[in-house]
Amino acid sequence: HPIKKDSKIRYNHRYACMRHSPLLCPNQGLVERLAILRRHRELEGLDMQALSYERAISVIKAFPHHIIADNIHEVSDLPHIGQKIRSKIQEFIQHGDISECKNVLSETRYRSSVDFTAIYGVGPVTARKLYSSGLRTINDLEKHYEVSPQTNDDIANNLSQGYRLVSSTTGLPQLSIKVGLALREELSLQIPRSEVEEIHDVVMNELAHIRSGCVSTITGGYRRGKAESNDIDIVVSHKDLKCGGDQVKGLCAKLVKRLYDQGLVTHVMHMSSFREHDTLRTTHWDSLEKALAVFILPSHGKEQKHVHRRLDLIFAAPEVYWTAVVGWTGSKMFERDLRLWAKQEKGMKFGSSGISRLHDSKLYFPKSEREVFELLDLEWIHPTLRNA
């Protein structure tokens, strides 16, 4: 994707949504080391420091040259690279590593937190609580929650026995730490593109039984070109632009129930209307719903044995479909800067569930993804270059 002559896209732009960020960059080794430090700050609850690292990492991802002693001055001039991170980069260039990384990786507290947060449903805050109550290893957690280490065959059995905690809001089995633990190994496996596509096809096929005329896009890392994903993100809407969201309303719960009845969805982590989270509350966006679920393709004998996967379903009214697609394509840094750019530079508010003008709350309904970018006065960036 060559950059056009008159383009304002620059690798040293302050906003990630004005930079091209490929999946792999010339400084991948450095990026991976800095990511350890970012993760460490995040797990320690040092959110501002974690964000500083994330911004710096994102800028380095867009830097098109291999960083060496001869061009380090160029790196120092990049936005979001402060004194602290500059010295880490310098150390990496001189010694091929960052000494603090070695220290962090040997910390019990860090290692436990990394293991704990790998469990679906456990974030940094829960991980810290578990750690301060004396738990250190997955084994400790299994004892604490009375989950026995098990083979894949046991999991299916156990899930239909003691591992089903029914949610009071959805009436479906709720994902708990216990279930997250039991499914830990399966859910940590990466999902190849072919399976993402297969799951998308199955889900949309089931949806067609409930409502015809739905449209969808697989978003997230898959759309950004990742060979393997941690989960499957699907944004769903309806082709009837004039329905005002009526064709979509309530569809999320109906679909999840149907998938559950078919044995395709085994657990629901969270199911909601977007209203709970979104400060932008207008009638248009009431029909935005999402479900974070656990999904499994039917297995056919031993040779085609499938495992549990995380599946996020997002339902958008037709007028905000493309806004939702942009909002759920990511990366997280790209999304963060989209919002910041819209607000600080354009007087607009961007969210997955809508675009509005700040001073009079006028709503915009882009009819394509390109229109979303145009509305925000941004140049189109291909999804595979949004890996900020």
Backbone angles phi, psi at 334, to 5 degrees: -60, -45
Q: Does 319 bind Mg ion (CB under 5 A)?
A: no
Q: From the candidates 88, 178, 249, 349, give the one annotated as an active-site residue.
A: 88
Q: Which stretch binds Mg ion (CB under 5 A): 20-28, 128-136, 218-226, 246-254?
A: 218-226
- CB nearer to Mg ion: pick between 122 and 218: 218
Q: Is the bond leading into 331 cis (omega within 30 degrees of zero)?
A: yes
Annotated active-site residue 226? The verdict is: no
Residue where the block lists tokens 């657990």: 267
Question: Residues 329, 316: contact at Cβ < 8 Å?
Answer: no
- Alpha-carbon torsion angle 73, 78, 80, 82, nearest 10: 10
User: Shortest gap between Cβ of 352 and ligand DGT (angstroms)?
Assistant: 4
Residues 195-214 that bind ligand DGT (CB under 6 A): none
Burial class (CB in 10 A: 0-12, 13-18, 19+), 155: buried
Q: Which stretch binds ligand DGT (CB under 6 A): 62-70, 176-184, 254-262, 331-339?
A: 331-339
Q: Does 221 bind ligand DGT (CB under 6 A)?
A: yes
Instruction: Give the residue, chosen from 229, 237, 247, 287, that forms a contact with ligand DGT under the rule CB under 6 A.
Output: 229
Q: Does 233 bind Mg ion (CB under 5 A)?
A: yes
Residues 300-329 that bind ligand DGT (CB under 6 A): 327-328
Instruction: Give the residue, chosen from 54, 115, 231, 289, that forms a contact with ligand DGT under the rule CB under 6 A.
Output: 231
- CB nearer to ligand DGT: pick between 40 and 310: 310
Q: Does 354 bind ligand DGT (CB under 6 A)?
A: no
Which of 24, 328, 293, 309 shows the shortest CA–CA distance to 190? 309
Cα first-last separation, the chain: 16
Q: Which stretch binds Mg ion (CB under 5 A): 18-26, 140-148, 220-228, 319-327?
A: 220-228
Instruction: Tabulate helix, strand, coil % of the chain (nearest 5).
Output: 50, 15, 35
What 3 state SS string does 190-224 have? Answer: CEEHHHHHHHHHHHHHHHHHHCCCEEEEECHHHHC
Partner whose binding site includes residue 331, from Mg ion, ligand DGT, none (CB under 5 to 8 Å by kind): ligand DGT
Residues 35-94 that bind ligand DGT (CB under 6 A): none
Give the separation between CA 119 and CA 178, rounded to whole angstroms: 10
Give the separation between CA 276 and CA 288, rounded to whole angstroms: 10
Instruction: Give the residue, chosen from 352, 356, 373, 388, that forms a contact with ligand DGT under the rule CB under 6 A.
Output: 352
User: Shortest gap between Cβ of 104 and Mg ion (angstroms)?
Assistant: 26
Question: Residues 15, 387: contact at Cβ < 8 Å?
Answer: no
Partner whose binding site includes residue 352, from ligand DGT, Mg ion, none (CB under 5 to 8 Å by kind): ligand DGT
User: Shortest gap between Cβ of 148 and Mg ion (angstroms)?
Assistant: 30
Query: Can you spell out the DSSP letters for 33-61?
Result: HHHHHHHHHHHTT-HHHHHHHHHHHHHHH
User: Shortest gap between Cβ of 164 and ligand DGT (angstroms)?
Assistant: 25
- The CA distances from residue 100 to 29, 35, 88, 89, 107, in Å, are 15, 12, 9, 12, 11
Query: In which order are the strands placed within the sheet that holds 231-238?
Result: 165-166, 173-174, 265-273, 289-295, 309-315, 231-238, 214-218
User: Shortest gap between Cβ of 89 and ligand DGT (angstroms)?
Assistant: 25
User: Shortest gap between Cβ of 221 and ligand DGT (angstroms)?
Assistant: 3
Contacts of 135 (CB under 8 A, 6+ apart): 112, 116, 141, 144
Q: Which stretch binds ligand DGT (CB under 6 A): 13-21, 76-84, 94-102, 226-234?
A: 226-234
- CB nearer to ligand DGT: pick between 121 and 220: 220
Q: Does 245 bind ligand DGT (CB under 6 A)?
A: no
Q: Which run of H or of E encompasses 173? A: strand 173-174
User: Shortest gap between Cβ of 197 and ligand DGT (angstroms)?
Assistant: 15
Partner whose binding site includes residue 362, from Mg ion, ligand DGT, none (CB under 5 to 8 Å by kind): none
Total residues binding ligand DGT (CB under 6 A): 14
Q: Which residues participate in catalysis according to the annotation? A: 88
Binding interface with ligand DGT (CB under 6 A): 220-221, 226, 229-231, 233, 327-328, 330-332, 335, 352
Binding interface with Mg ion (CB under 5 A): 220-221, 231, 233
